[in-house]
Amino acid sequence: MTTEAPAILSTSAKELEAWLLSHKAPAYRRKQLWAWMARGAASFDEMRDIPKPLRSELGGSFRITSLRPIAVSQADRGLTTKTLYELDGGHSVEAVVMRYADRSTLCISSQAGCPIGCPFCATGKFPFGRNLKAHEIVEQAVDAVRMLSAEGKRLSHVVFMGMGEPMANYQAVIESVRRLSDPELLGISPRRVVISTSGLIPRIDQLGQEKLAVTLAISLHAARDELRDVLVPINRKYPVADLVASAQGYAEKTSRRVSYEWVLLAGVNDTERDAKELGTLLRGKRAHVNLIPFNPVEGTPYQAPDRAGVRRFRELVEAQGLNVTVRDTRGREADAACGQLHERVMRERSPVHVS
Ligand code: SF4
């Protein structure tokens, strides 16, 4: 059992205000403290409008974050930063900051490892660790804010596309989205948050009831069950036609277009047949297709298509009347596919961390 102090963001607004009152401090100090967290404060001592004795008491009772950065990797001439964090108990997760001209996006992790086990994915290769708590998800964003504010930039978008299946850690993910969007905390509009899923239909339906209006992304990768059963094993439980029906139900409820993600694997899912099947599945729907050229993962049998192959498949999908974009291949040198930095560090590191 850890004897470490709780992380400040593991307390709710109510709990923190109760703590403040019990330490003879007014409840409004909670808002001041959250405002500092939203600016990426790295210590309680930075919180200058909070009296010094209270800052010391806070420091004695709480940690500013539970995440410990253990490896950082840069790519794209500093535009992409991937950080590997150790969690309480020893598991680790990755988060990636991507800087663009008009925005900064954080790719966030919701689980240490992933139980889905897609065969092309670095995260799916190592054993599942555990679900993250809501504050551990939010702390990744606070650390990104800290990093970006030092450069005069703001964190504007968050995508749940890092390690893990967000819908398999549903309650913590929803709570973290509420906290990310809380105007008293990070104030990131849910419209700028993307939750991606391999296809847990009951949770997609539940998400539609939340009145959150986040963007839903489906990790599709194949439009026929026979192939998707292999690439995304959860398809055996939730077949592709049912998945698309559920996702489109979400689109109708929220008036938000669903993004269908398609990792391009050379010779596997980049043929004319695949494009036609995708057209049949999505034509006329509130849908957008996002093609992601595969980032090779050691120990998997899959290859990345060359540029001409990506262009050709894009044209084939466009010819089906679908909206399609190709995601840029950010961070290739930063161990970019989710789980790759974790894998490299764990290989180089001894002893391996287990809880
Ligand atoms: S691709 Fe996503 S759902 Fe599949 S194993 Fe990797 S992290 Fe999990």
What is the spatial distance between Cα 112 and Cα 90, in angstroms, rounded to a whole number? 10
Task: Kindly report, residue by residue over 278-317, the tens digit of the pLDDT.
Answer: 999 999 999 999 999 998 888 889 999 999 999 999 999 9
**Residue among 338, 340, 341, 343 to mutate when testing ligand 1 (max atoms within 8 A of CB):** 338
**Separation of CA 149 from chain center:** 20
Nearest atom in ligand 1 to the alpha carbon of residue 122 is 6
Closest CA to 113 of 295, 346, 289, 290: 346
- CA angle 178/184/186 to nearest 5° reads 60
Query: Measured in angstroms, how far is the CA atom of residue 261 from the centroid of ligand 1?
Result: 12
Residues 6+ apart with CB under 8 A from 68: 85, 86
Rounded to an integer, what distance in angstroms lies between the CA atom of residue 294 and that of residue 305?
7
Phi and psi at residue 277, to the nearest 5°: -65, -35
Q: Is 289 exposed, middle or buried (0-12, 13-18, 19+ CB in 10 A)?
A: buried
Does residue 122's CB lie within 6 angstroms of at least one atom of ligand 1? no
Confidence at residue 322, expressed as pLDDT on a 0 to 100 scale: 97
pTM for this one? 0.93
pLDDT in tens, 200-241: 999 999 999 998 989 999 999 999 999 999 999 999 999 999
Q: Residues 51-110: pLDDT tens digits? A: 999 999 999 999 999 999 999 999 888 899 999 999 999 999 999 999 999 999 999 999
Angle between helices 240-254 and 272-282 (to 10 degrees): 50
Q: What does each C-alpha distance from 82 to 2, 71, 125, 253, 296 come to in angstroms?
A: 27, 8, 19, 35, 17
Catalytic residues: 94, 338
Q: Name the segment(s) of the chain with CATH classification 1.10.150.530.
A: 8-61
Fold of 8-61: DNA polymerase; domain 1 (1.10.150)
* pLDDT reading at 349 higher than 70: no
Q: How far is the CA of 195 from the centre of ligand 1 (A)?
A: 13
| 163: DSSP letter | S
Q: Could you name the CATH architecture of 68-348? A: Alpha-Beta Barrel (3.20)
Q: Is the CB of residue 121 below 6 angstroms from any atom belonging to ligand 1?
A: yes
CA of 198 to the centre of ligand 1 (A): 7
Query: In this predicted structure, what is the pLDDT of residue 148?
Result: 97
Above 50 in pLDDT, residue 331?
yes
